[in-house]
Structure 1
Amino acid sequence: MTSTPRAYLVLATQRSGSTLLVESLRATGVAGEPQEFFQYLPHSGLAPQPREWFADVTDESILSLLDPLDPGTPQTATGDEWAERIRREGSTANGVWGGKLMWNQTPLLLANASSLRNRSSDDLRSAIDDLLGPDVVYVHVYRTDIAAQAVSMWRAVQTRVWRGAAPAEIDERAQYHAGGIAHLHAILSEQERSWRAWFDTAGVEPIEIDYRHLAEDTTGEVGRVLNALGLDPGLAPPPALTRQGNARSIDWIDRYRRDAAREGVTV
């Protein structure tokens, strides 16, 4: 008899709708406590800060729009302490675990997993298996309009509001910059290519969730994940977050496409 999966991992890129999915799963009360466990950098103990997304950029007109770096506090946990905390904090009382992993976070996962006792191999698939068990349900959330995704991320790195709508007074401080958006567009495109290449090489067949379908029918998409976990799809709630995009987003997307076209670039 095949056992019911007790863990799921949402694989995504930033601003793809993954937070809407995991927060709606969390709201069921039975589908784990999904967090972005693998984002914390060892030198600071923090998630990548706005300027760290632009580490190789020297254009001051971009950098001046981003907050200065916070040094944070270096991480000191051992691999086993790291694993125990993640397993504990990601689980609901029924034993279901949930989490989220972005492609840029895979080196951090591999580095932490390398010091686990009884590590089975040194590749990403085995690191996930060693941490969560062999029957993980993989869920791939993606956005086909990466230009719109990059605009969303450019607003987020300026406002530092990553879920729900930013208050108007904060959102108004964000400024359009074609170069900043283009830089993020390139990163997000490469991350998505890397996920799809990994699915092929690792033999992973995830549940595929398109951002557009997730936005239109959040409850239905959450129900698909619950069903794969052997849970009642009827527990899927209404969307747990409000949509962040607005008329300003549409204006910036159109403006970015026009700017790119003038440079002879199709986005």
Structure 2
Amino acid sequence: MAEFPTKYLVLASQRSGSTLLVESLRATGVAGEPEEYFQQLPETGRAPQPRDWFAGVSDPSLLELLPPSQPGAAEPESAVDRRDRILRAGCSPNGVWGGKLMWNQTALLQQWAAELPDRSGSDLRSAIRDVLGDDVLFVHVTRPDVVHQAVSFWRAVQTQTWRAPRERRADTKARYHAGGIAHLLQVLRNQERSWREWFTEAGITPMRVNYRDLAADTTAVVAAVLAALGQDPALAPPPALERQADVRSNSWVERYLVEAMAKGLPV
């Protein structure tokens, strides 16, 4: 194995700061073209749409705030062709590959990896190995304040606005709903627990990135990842994106915490 890994996979949950990290890594020009390469649902060929996150929820006051799902269909592609396409697309000119994987996407990754020839196993670690090889740096991004994370997620699924500042106007259409925030908070907690259990099960010690550190000094965090990849830390740029948290988010967090205490909602 090479002295430094030539591939990395950012492991996270939605609204954890992972996009800030990967876009800042992309901006270096030497850390791949990191995307969520494993998110397309086989029945639509699309990433999960807002209502997909609320399967089984029947509250009409919540569902009316979500846009309708759009139809779609996956393009025919063999598992080998898809693997080869992803490996090409994720590389920067120096040969470093980057990608991002959310826990909800792990089942999709395993599903299509099962069609690859000469499998090394049927578990998640084997799926990653059979797609990317063993030469992979795992970077785990976490956000300790999960209520803030859930509020951000709730705003994003309503408006399908995932980045700032260009789409800020659309984001103002989001409406507060304690039930929506509570549901997504549970989703996020389950994802984070699943990542930690998997690390233990697979014997993996990832490079850990705390959202607070990432937000406070993005350049320093990117420099540390570059160093772990054997790339020049001095290439770490200023943050590639602006933070989306604002006064409105903070007020929703405060409101939710009050309601959670009164109604027994998760925190």
Q: TM-score, normalised by structure 2?
A: 0.97
The 5 A counterparts of 1:204-223 are 204-223=204-223
Does the 8 Å contact 1:13/1:191 carry over to 2?
Answer: yes
Residues 23, 85 of structure 1: CA spacing in aligned structure 2 closer, same or farther, 3 A cutoff?
same
Q: What is the letter of the counterpart of residue 56 of structure 1?
A: G
Q: Deviations over 1:80-112 (max 9, x none)?
A: 011011101000111100000000000000011
Structure 1 Cα separation of the partners of residues 166 and 43 of structure 2: 29
The equivalent of 1:32 in structure 2 is: 32
Q: What is the letter of the counterpart of residue 46 of structure 1?
A: R
Moved more, 157-166 or 146-155: 157-166
Q: SS at 2:105's partner residue? A: helix
The equivalent of 1:66 in structure 2 is: 66
Q: SS at 2:182's partner residue? A: helix
User: Gaps (5+ residues) in structure 2?
Assistant: none
The equivalent of 2:157 in structure 1 is: 157
Q: Deviations over 1:107-131 (max 9, x none)?
A: 0000111111111111111111111
Q: Deviations over 1:214-259 (max 9, x none)?
A: 0001000001110110001111000000111110000000001111
Structure 1 Cα separation of the partners of residues 166 and 33 of structure 2: 24
The equivalent of 1:179 in structure 2 is: 179
CA drift at 1:158: 0.8
Does the 8 Å contact 1:113/1:131 carry over to 2?
Answer: yes
Residues 23, 111 of structure 1: CA spacing in aligned structure 2 closer, same or farther, 3 A cutoff?
same
The equivalent of 1:110 in structure 2 is: 110
The equivalent of 1:228 in structure 2 is: 228
User: Gaps (5+ residues) in structure 1?
Assistant: none
The equivalent of 1:147 in structure 2 is: 147
Structure 2 Cα separation of the partners of residues 2 and 41 of structure 1: 34
Q: SS at 1:138's partner residue? A: strand
CA drift at 1:266: 5.5
Runs of 4+ more than 4 Å apart: none
Q: Percent identity?
A: 59
Structure 2 Cα separation of the partners of residues 64 and 167 of structure 1: 22
Alignment of 1:5 with 2:2, yes or no, is: no
Structure 1 Cα separation of the partners of residues 34 and 112 of structure 2: 19
RMSD: 1.2
The equivalent of 1:84 in structure 2 is: 84
CA drift at 1:168: 4.5
Q: What is the letter of the counterpart of residue 103 of structure 2?
A: W
Structure 1 Cα separation of the partners of residues 132 and 227 of structure 2: 19
